[in-house]
Copies of this chain bind each other. A is one copy, B any other.
Amino acid sequence: MELVTGVKKPETLELGELLDGSMEGREVKVNGAIHSIRDMGNVGFVILRKREGLLQCVYEEGVSRFDLKELKDADTVEVSGTLTRSDKAPGGVEIRMQDVRILSEPAESMPLPISKWKMNTSLEAKLNYRPISLRNIRERAKFRIQEGIVRGFRDFLYTQGFTEIHTPKIGAKSAEGGANLFRLEYFHRPAILQQSPQFYKQMMVGVFDRVFETAPVFRAEKHNTKRHLNEYTSLDFEMGYIDGFEDVMAMETGFLQYTMNLLEKEYSRELRILGVELPKTEEIPAVRFDEIKRMVSEKYNRKIRTPYDLEPEEEMLIGRYAKEEWGADFVFVTHYPSKKRPFYAMDDPEDPTYTLSFDLLFRGLEITTGGQRIHDYRSLLEKMEKRGMTDEGMEQYLSAFKHGMPPHGGLGIGMERLTMQLLGEDNVRETTLFPRDLSRLEP
């Protein structure tokens, strides 16, 4: 029997420790993957890829106790040497190598030029070689920023008294119902994959008042566009005791403010690598659906063709309008027509053809749908009846309302879309680790 007592500080150092100045002139050990090698005869440069960035290691004939020819791209190694200040090296330090220990070797050379700053590779090729293309410094930085977004979402909501929940993805019935569901057999019973945690998070408002979930959702939509995925990560929250859907918009604004601040502080390296400028979130304009439709139609001289919905081009023009008129990257579009919202959306008592709901557009693309929900049992039944829905399979959802629910509302944010817009990418697959679309089920 031996005793495990927890994490010990390893002998090898990480980039942060090498850069903080305390180890200069000292013998150090580091590990990493060989990102590239420049052999100039008596001298050579070996660039190590570490999780925090790149590190330059210098080979000098006579000083280094090995032959540079022994090393090749994509070896993983442990290097020993002297940490030295060098203005030309990335980060201002380099290691003058003495010894190297090869930890592992590739069997074949790289199919993509991952050590280039920009790979100039098609999206298709990047996705086909996903585990390799992500080793590029710029590619992986996108997903560090994505981590920051999700982290910001959770950490902000913890400060606001939300509880994290984990709800099932296999179910008998879905919140939005009908089309666009993946179906499967569950021990000889028909089942579906959830399109959203909507029903569950609402039920849990009756338990914890405020809940959130960050989890996959599944949509069997048959369109292959630059902004759709068939599986994506949804950042969902739902909050009770609201005075109106304005409270939900305020909470989302708070999340964005918190998260941009977190990214600035903790992910500045990745923002710099990608040249990202963070959007302003101090004030986000909110404007009615029918009004912004009219304003955009007038300003850009564009006919309104779909009175109940926003066309993608209209969303883009709203983004342009918000930027030109208000200097805003984000804009809340409120009071969507009732017929385009699900049954659980609360209609506006002043005009029930509209709902107390909103979308958030970020640089001309919808990244959030949210709003106030119906909390009164009888009102919910009435709305369902009006839409010709039965309560089959919804007994548990409805029971939460039957036994009392506070006024509440919430929203869902598409993680990959928010990342895409923040980074200025033009295809949501660029900011999805392993996308699932009509044609892509692998890797």
Contacts and interface: CB of A to CB of B under 8 A. Distances in A.
A200 interface: yes
B163 A5 contact: no
A414 B144 CA distance: 25
Contact of A183 (B184, B203, B218): B184
Interface residues of A, number: 123
Given A163-B144, A172-B442, A104 B7 contact: no
Contact of A433 (B154, B165, B172, B434): B165
A233 interface: yes
Contacts of A173: 442
A150 interface: yes
A283 interface: yes
Contacts of A172: 441-442
Contact of A168 (B132, B231, B287, B401): B231
Given A209-B51, A241-B12, A400 B132 contact: yes
Contacts of A204: 131, 134, 433
B107 A4 contact: no
- Copies of this protein, total: 2
Given A163-B144, A166-B233, A283-B3, A443 B203 contact: yes
A441 B231 contact: no
A234 to B, nearest CB: 10
A241 B6 contact: no
A169 B164 CA distance: 20
Main secondary structure of the interface of A (DSSP, over half): mixed
A123 interface: no
A170 interface: yes
A345 to B, nearest CB: 17
The interface centre, meaning the residue of A6, A106, A209 with most chain B CB atoms within 10 A of its CB, is A6
B7 A250 contact: yes
A400 B377 CA distance: 54
Interface in A25-77: 31, 33, 50-52, 74-76
Contacts of A378: 107
Nearest to A144: B163
14 contacts: A2-B286, A3-B284, A6-B253, A103-B241, A106-B402, A132-B400, A150-B166, A165-B433, A166-B216, A167-B433, A169-B216, A184-B193, A191-B441, A200-B434
